[in-house]
Amino acid sequence: MDQEILKKYSNVDECPVRNVLDRIGNKWTLLVLLVLEEQQVLRFNELHTYISTISQKMLSVTLKSLEADGLVKRTIYPQVPPKVEYELTARAQSLLPLIHNLVDWSKTHINAIKTSRKHYELVTRK
Amino acid sequence: MDQEILKKYSNVDECPVRNVLDRIGNKWTLLVLLVLEEQQVLRFNELHTYISTISQKMLSVTLKSLEADGLVKRTIYPQVPPKVEYELTARAQSLLPLIHNLVDWSKTHINAIKTSRKHYELVTRK
DNA sequence: CGGTATCCATATCGATACTG
DNA sequence: CAGTATCGATATGGATACCG
């Protein structure tokens, strides 16, 4: 990893990982992916029911960015009242195993990490 | 994934993955981990040289949170001028393979994702 | 039903100056 | 050398009201 590559990777636009992490790193994306993985196809308000603590706005924003990245497919049924369905794409399916690895790692280490945080709080408190 | 679990996982404090992602999802953490993995042991200003675009403040903040989570070990040599060394812990070493998987996935899919984003821009522009 | 629009609170990030 | 303090800009997230 020489200076030039590091310089490039410090730039969000040019760094592949930052491009991806900036999306899955936000507050709701991961949860939406996991719910859609389990339920396969859901309408907007069904998703809202599963993830009741999200605001309508943030659910909309999250779904738009997932759709833009080609991770979620949005199907509109032209009827009244409108019906819109969301489901994962193959691209999202290929990402999900890595997410599950992260979930597993987190579950395994979260207790130790929280203990570390508390200890750090104590030793750094003046 | 029933309602109760979802409710819990919507809460950042109680969700293991969000706890971890909130850290590695921020702007500089991943880069610091990867540089420390490659260089093994570095002083504050050496890190700053490797990641030249980070501000002193953000490098300090990033290192503190990594130290708090037990992912980075900080060693102070009581001398003048001060000497402080940073290196990864075993906990961080166990996380790095998952990060490399994410890096690889991102590199593989970034072009298709960027193409999707451009296409999405076009079709949604009024 | 499936969203937008608007406004606001907070969190994150960065530039600059200063220090033991 | 290895930071901290302060201030300000920007990004993110949320509450509420409204709409085709």
In this prediction, residue B6 carries a pLDDT of 53
In sequence order, the 6+-apart residues with CB closer than 8 A to the CB of B52 are A3, A6, A7, A10
| CATH, domain B3-124, list 1.20.120.550, 1.10.10.10, 1.10.730.10, 3.10.129.10 | 1.10.10.10
- Backbone φ and ψ for A95, nearest 5 degrees, come out as -85, -30
In this prediction, residue A61 carries a pLDDT of 96
pTM above 0.85, yes or no: yes
Distance B49 CA to D4 C1' (A): 20
In the predicted structure, residue A1 carries a pLDDT above the cut 70: no
Task: Give the rounded distance of the alpha carbon of B25 from its chain centre.
Answer: 6
B45 CB inside 7 Å of strand C = no
Read off the pLDDT of each residue in A102-111 and give the average, rounded to a whole number.
Answer: 92
Read off the pLDDT of each residue in A1-6 and give the average, rounded to a whole number.
Answer: 50
In this prediction, residue A10 carries a pLDDT of 56
Distance B81 CA to C17 C1' (A): 21
The gap between the terminal CA atoms of chain B, to the nearest Å, is 39
Counting residues of chain A whose pLDDT is more than 90, the rounded percentage is 65
- Residues of chain B found within 8 Å of residue A38, distances taken between Cβ atoms: 1
Q: Is the backbone peptide bond immediately before A78 cis, with ω within 30 degrees of 0?
A: no
Q: List pLDDT tens digits, range B11-68.
A: 666 788 888 888 888 889 999 999 999 999 999 999 999 888 899 999 999 999 999 9
In 3D space, the residue among B90, B108, B126 whose CA is nearest the CA of residue A98 turns out to be B108
Distance A56 CA to C2 C1' (A): 10
- Backbone φ and ψ for B40, nearest 5 degrees, come out as 70, -65
In sequence order, the 6+-apart residues with CB closer than 8 A to the CB of A15 are A8, A9
In this prediction, residue B10 carries a pLDDT of 57
Q: List pLDDT tens digits, range A43-81.
A: 999 999 988 889 999 999 999 999 999 999 999 999 989
Q: Among partner residues A10, A91, A101, which is closest to B98 by beta-carbon distance?
A: A101
Dihedral sign computed on CA atoms, order A13, A16, A21, A23 = positive
Contact B120, A67 (CB under 8 A): yes
- Residue A94's closest chain B neighbor by CA? B105
- Residues of chain B found within 8 Å of residue A100, distances taken between Cβ atoms: none
- Residues of chain B found within 8 Å of residue A18, distances taken between Cβ atoms: 27, 30
Read off the pLDDT of each residue in A35-48 and give the average, rounded to a whole number.
Answer: 95
Distance CA A19, CA A3 (A): 20
Residue extents of the structural domains in chain A: 3-124
